[in-house]
Structure 1
């Protein structure tokens, strides 16, 4: 598990010219109403349920896109696939590279991994709450994956119970 990052320390490192010392002070000092509105979807993302699986729709793809992609995977398969392959496919849709969430990264890049880790950690609690609200009959593991050189920092969402059941035709 990656080392936990203090988000205020990350902000202070990136912007030493700002004198804020707490999260609320940072919000008041550098935040803005219009800039804040898009963050609703980051901290309280849409949840899509398709073919018995739950997806965090962070990128706004929508139910039809998930259904089409899953239909393609079901149709292209062979009969010896099992439940583990279905679970791996669903999990692959619920794996988010923090570096891919934004098109731009502001501020100094010296502590990019620290910044990404701080953001990833801040997403865990609201995503857990969102999943519990949207799918109260299911349990999920929401965690920061171990960073890799290829993908960087990632957040993974996995349904832990009940076990995922492959759809007909899988």
Structure 2
């Protein structure tokens, strides 16, 4: 089934009152400007840069929350945890499980997995454009990863170049910035 056919099926089952075979027509029939504004941050998210690393801001108050988490060693009390490189820590903040972006589901539950995959495809494309527009000098990847035993279907964002340089005070074993500059 093609992407448009699957989108058409999902939208038709979620909104049977819309009389259209074109998935594009659904936003004008079922949504409004306030909803569109709300979702604009999902498709063209704010980005924050902390200590040379780019983070997607999808949750609100992200810059403060991420900076605080990075400054608080998370492995203290967990001596069995392996050390984590700075780049791995940054990447861990840029993983988004698609089914967990929302607390509600419109339409039949059996469509949820297909809807998440369709959304993921769209987000990968728009997030790549967002990163290219904001950081044309960097090479960042955006990819969708299948669900497994550890996580659901997800999008992972990672910076390839330039290489991320650990900030002063980064302690990979403790997984935090222990000395501030």
**TM bin (shorter chain):** 0.7 to 0.9
Deviation track 1:83-103 (CA, whole Å, cap 9, x = no partner) reads x62111111100001122112
Shift of 1:17: 4.4
- State the SS of the aligned residue for 1:37: helix
User: Within 2, Cα distance between the matches of 1:122 and 1:7?
Assistant: 11
Matches within 5 A, 1:98-109: 98-109=98-109
Shift of 1:13: 3.8
Contact 1:42–1:58 under 8 Å retained in 2: yes
CA RMSD, 1 decimal: 2.5
Deviation track 1:2-45 (CA, whole Å, cap 9, x = no partner) reads x9854333223434443222232122222222222101111011
Matches within 5 A, 1:106-121: 106-121=106-121
TM-score, with length taken from structure 2 = 0.79
Higher Cα radius of gyration: 2
Task: Give the direction of change, closer, same or farther, for the CA distance of 1:70–1:95 in structure 2 (3 Å limit).
Answer: same
Task: Give the direction of change, closer, same or farther, for the CA distance of 1:152–1:62 in structure 2 (3 Å limit).
Answer: closer
Is structure 2 residue 78 aligned with structure 1 residue 69? no
User: Within 1, Cα distance between the matches of 2:2 and 2:60?
Assistant: 29
User: Within 2, Cα distance between the matches of 1:116 and 1:150?
Assistant: 17
